[in-house]
């Protein structure tokens, strides 16, 4: 297995390399400070996974967009972002990224992200859920009473729903069956007396 790890911060780059080597003992890890000078278009086909550290968002995301068309269709991409947010996460997931987490996450969380993405499932940092709740509740304090009706798992599903994630994506992100997500979605709608995600978004 061959992995490419990209970060312009050398100590971060070396740390990521060590984490990958701990998670996948037989991995060949290539490190590079930038996504652009990695190599010719056909060289992208040799990698099984790309771990990209995003620090300067406008430049890093722009560079990623330029080279992503050269990736193998089955390459697994994990983003570690210095300013992790749900809007950026949703955008990058729409581009085919399989994992997205805060670069300041614990060693255990980053190891988990690598394992989950390598297994072919989606991964999103749980701190994004907390951030989403905070921002929505600040905008609409009356939503607090409604949210008390939901279980912790239902709150998690509701947060993904209002961010535009579909049933299958939520299933992968939460490691639950699509039928379970559909049932929880129905329970959320019934408890909050809404008919669809649009009404849920207005409530929250």
Give the domain ranges of the chain. Answer: 2-123, 127-203
pLDDT value, residue 97:
86
pLDDT of residue 159: 80
Same fold? 2-123, 127-203: yes
Alpha helices by DSSP H, listed for the chain, are: 10-23, 57-67, 86-94, 107-118, 127-139, 143-147, 152-162, 167-174, 178-192, 197-203
pLDDT at 124: 83
Question: How much is the pTM?
Answer: 0.68
Is the domain spanning 2-123 CATH 3.90.1150.10? The answer is no
User: Residue 93 burial (CB < 10 Å; 0-12/13-18/19+)?
Assistant: buried
User: Residue ranges of the chain with pLDDT lower than 50?
Assistant: none
Q: How many CB atoms lie within 10 A of CB 131?
A: 16
Class of the domain covering 127-203: alpha beta
User: How many helical (H) and strand (E) elements, i.e. helices and strands, does the chain have?
Assistant: 10, 6
Give residue 78's pLDDT: 92
Sole residue written with tokens 């600040």: 138
């Amino acid at each position: 297995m061959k992995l490419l790890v990209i970060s312009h911060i050398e100590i971060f780059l070396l740390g990521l390399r060590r984490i990958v080597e701990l998670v996948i003992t037989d991995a060949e890890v290539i490190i590079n400070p930038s996504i652009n000078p990695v190599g010719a278009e056909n060289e992208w086909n040799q990698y099984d996974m790309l771990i990209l550290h995003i620090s300067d968002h406008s430049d890093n995301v722009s560079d990623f967009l330029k080279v992503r068309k050269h990736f193998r269709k089955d390459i697994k991409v994990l983003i570690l972002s210095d300013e992790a947010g749900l809007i950026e996460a949703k955008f990058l997931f729409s581009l085919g990224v399989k994992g997205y987490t805060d670069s300041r996450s614990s060693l255990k969380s980053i190891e988990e992200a690598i394992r989950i993405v390598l297994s072919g499932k989606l991964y999103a940092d749980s701190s994004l859920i907390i951030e989403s709740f905070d921002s929505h509740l600040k905008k609409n304090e009356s939503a607090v009473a409604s949210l008390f009706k939901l279980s912790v798992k239902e709150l998690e599903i509701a947060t993904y729903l209002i961010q535009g994630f579909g049933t299958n994506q939520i299933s992968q992100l939460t490691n639950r069956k699509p039928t379970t997500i559909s049932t929880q979605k129905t329970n959320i709608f019934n408890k909050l007396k809404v008919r669809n995600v649009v009404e849920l978004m207005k409530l929250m």
